[in-house]
Structure 1
């Protein structure tokens, strides 16, 4: 009995002590961890130059060491860029940034982003390996503005700091959407003296030009025509009779692509008997919203008109909804042609497009920025003598073939245009580099655009890039592309804003 009592008293007390010590140790560890978490800032870095902004899971910033910004489809090309940059020596390069919404969740934008990076990387590789050892070498970095370009300020501030050593940022390309955010980003970059080369921005008001405020974006150049030029080219191509045409347009304002496109189409439809048919897209036009219901009603009203041609001023999601609705119209016996801007290039990869609509006496054509068949000879379709060349396009094909382990799709034109924008940036950087210097002064690159014309033009894969004094391409070749019944993007012919190809010297005329 005594042994049992002694056992209970002794071992119970020891167990209590051990338990207390262990509990205190665990508690101390937890308190220490809590204090450390409270006093140590959260590590939100993704890669050098890239981090997650407060309240966001997106990796935002600038990187050229191979980071893919958490987007698996970009891994291969991002690593290729990183390898190319790793082979450059300190002091021998200038940097070009590709500014894009790399983490967009829109399927069409993700394809566009991938193809633009592939095109830019292909031209970077040529600049460093196949240009007779011209200097400086070119370092390419990827700059993410986030979904909907929501984080453009963070990225632009980072780019401004990169103009100093060791980065020596001398130009920004990409700049691919005609949105308010991109307009503000362009204004901030050019305001800081950084040269900008837009790839697929087409809005007329994200450009310089004659008149008041003509130099709103000093140092901005573009390789794509404006929406106004696209509308002129479509008009020259289609020879549309205004009495048998109408306009379907988005009423949402602040979208510079849509706003300037509907203005350009309105100017082309003077004398049309019908008022425009209106719809309002969501604040984020990549969302489906309720516009499909509106288009179903608009198709009834179109059937009530004598129209044969419909000009569409809106983004690609709404364009696809409209095509689907018009394909199911009540007046199925009547034929219609839809004409629109370069947003039509997204439709080739849009699996929500009802291809049956394209077989219902409905023709869809758009003014593309580039197309792989535009400079290929074909029976009955000779290549224009001026404005571009087969040789320049074949050089592009050689370069793009080494940019990816798998063939890069070219029908949407994105890789071609990004390649040309990079070529234009490289041209300006090297032209601005004084003899005996390794790289140019920042301010000197942004002043090169008025000289990119005549014999100093860029022989682009999409056509000649001859810039006017405001940095806009003069009479740029515009491929007219048709959506075939199987959904493929079929080249029809090249159209020209001036109604004809440029002269041999490609010198823009004096404007009033």
Structure 2
């Protein structure tokens, strides 16, 4: 009996000892933050299939192929339309094209731009899949978001590269949008991995091939002219005199602002006055303190002789709007000025922060080079370089979307900023490259798609875009592309003035770039 009692005491002691050790170990683990990691459910950072919140960020980035609209209600109708079209495709009959845009942008102007590019890409997808010729392969469209500022471009590019294999068969990326440093890195990485890219509204000269005879982005094609070509078209329209002009530019610069600044500087050789810089926030969609700087610059402008009547502006749209508002309040309101800038002016259409009195009550005109405009071809049906019949193909598609539930709805449509038009043309160029790489209608090799761009020219092979003819040179850049000159009205609308051309005249009917 004594021996049994001894065993019982030893068992009780051992149980108590083990509990003590377990409690002590738990206390140590909790203090080290390990216990919670061992017992808690792993955090779910998924937003939707293919889309996640990266560690340290609340943005949902990645590639979406569902009805997920990145938390932006204005995208929902078009995203659903794309999903319906994708669902109609038979397995093995299609290739995938990704639209790369900042779908989680917070700036209202950028969101409007993204919406219009989304709509344009979808309409071109629908047209390609329902064309009466029955050409193949069919086109599946997915949405690639690198983040509001493109900061997560590497993760998105890695995902897109993975989609080039297997059943996705990714064969091109289109869109890209703004000419920013992050987008430049994304395009560099995509093309380095053999993925063809068709830029819609990128215009920076250093985001193009052919500069100094080099091609840093093999497989890149564009449908918009470079900033240099835009400036040449603007100069042919405005007849800018260096002795009468004044330059205001972004001191820190990004690919867009730097190259448009250089283009303007070439126009101003011999100018009597030094250019005036300003320093915007790193995120140029933010207000910052530049409004105060612009108020001072207008004072300097008023000190110039009355013969100075032209202001060239090399900056983004938020700073452009601030400068226009400052010019509206300038002390020399009795002097007439014409402000000339690049396609960033298109973002000001509908901008609620633009002071209407700046354009209504003063002698100020704001004119800019647009990428496209719905009125551009209304009176140019027989002209080379583009025409009313080509533009009508898109407007007919829009009309079809309003009455046919198989096509639309696609949300509120606005063609005035040109973004829907140019995105539609970019997607059509992507389709041309894909189908040109596989004349039998089969699935083309990824490496063959980007090789098609130098052959997009001439009467038969050019793309008759809604924005004008797209005839590419050997480096994938559009030759002598039509450039609409647009004037900003006091109610923030874009009024078409005239078509201008980098070469000073439209291309010949053959549309063959010279050597």
TM-score, reference length from structure 1: 0.90
- Distance in 1 (alpha carbons) for counterparts of 2:277 and 2:212: 31
Structure 1 pair 184/383, CA: closer, same or farther in 2 (3 Å)? Answer: same
**d(CA) in 1 for partners of 2:148 and 2:279?**
21
**1:231 match:** 231
Q: How does 1:78-477 map to 2 (within 5 A)?
A: 78-209=79-210, 211=212, 214-253=214-253, 255-306=254-305, 307-359=308-360, 360-377=362-379, 382-383=380-381, 385-401=383-399, 402=401, 403-404=408-409, 406-435=411-440, 438-455=442-459, 456-477=461-482
The Cα RMSD (Å) is 1.7
| Structure 1 CA distance for aligned equivalents of residues 414 and 211 of structure 2 | 38
CA distance in 2, matches of 1:120, 1:423: 8
Contact 1:348 1:489 in 2 (8 A): yes
Distance 2:169 2:475 in 1: 25
**Hey, what's the Cα distance between the residues in 1 that align with 2:382 and 2:345?**
24
Say if 2:488 is the partner of 1:483.
yes
- Could you tell me how far apart the structure 1 residues matched to 2:211 and 2:71 are? 43
* SS of residue matched to 2:204: coil
Question: Displacement of 1:40 after TM fit?
Answer: 3.7
CA offsets, 1:9-46, max 9 Å, x none? xxxxxxxxxxxxxxxxxxxxxx9xx8687454211111
Q: Is the 8 A contact 1:118 1:404 kept in 2?
A: no
8 A Cα contact 2:243 2:271, kept in partner = yes
Is the 1:97–1:173 Cα contact (8 Å) retained in structure 2?
A: yes
Partner residue, 2:25: none
For the residue of structure 1 that corresponds to 2:291, the secondary structure is helix
On the 8 A contact 2:340/2:367 being kept in 1, the answer is yes
> Which piece of structure 1 moves more, 48-57 or 115-124?
48-57
**Which blocks of at least 5 consecutive residues in structure 1 are unaligned?**
1-30
Specify whether residues 38 and 343 from structure 1 end up closer, same or farther in structure 2 by C-alpha distance, changes over 3 A only: farther
Shift of 1:210: 5.0
Q: Alignment partner of 1:138: what SS?
A: strand
Q: Structure 2 CA distance, aligned partners of 1:72 and 1:486?
A: 26
1:201-232 CA distances to partner (integer Å, 9 max, x unpaired)?
A: 000000100535x1100000000000000100
Give the Cα–Cα distance (whole angstroms) in 1 for the partners of residues 499 and 485 of structure 2.
6
Aligned position for 2:48: 47
Q: CA deviation at 1:404?
A: 3.2
Residue 37 and residue 434 in structure 1: after superposition, are their counterparts in 2 closer, same or farther (change >3 A)?
farther
DSSP 3-state at the match of 1:447 = helix
Q: Distance in 1 between matches of 2:192 and 2:215?
A: 11
Note the C-alpha offset of 1:279.
0.6
User: Which 5+ residue runs of structure 2 have no aligned equivalent?
Assistant: 1-29, 402-407
Contact (CA 8 Å) 1:123, 1:399: kept in 2 or not? no
Could you say what secondary structure the match of 2:104 adopts?
A: coil
Q: Structure 1 residues 104 and 407, CA, compared in 2 at 3 Å: closer, same or farther?
A: closer
* Helix, strand or coil at the partner of 1:205: helix
SS of structure 2 residue aligned to 1:502: coil
Q: Is this contact kept in 2: 1:91–1:438, CA < 8 A?
A: no
Q: 2:3 aligns to what?
A: none
Compute the displacement of 1:400 (Å): 2.8
Q: Deviations over 1:164-205 (max 9, x none)?
A: 120000000011110110000001000011110000000000
Q: Normalising by structure 2, what TM-score?
A: 0.90
In the alignment, the residues of structure 1 paired with residue 133 and residue 77 of structure 2 have an alpha-carbon distance, to the nearest angstrom, of 27
Aligned counterparts of 1:231 and 1:347: Cα–Cα separation in 2: 19
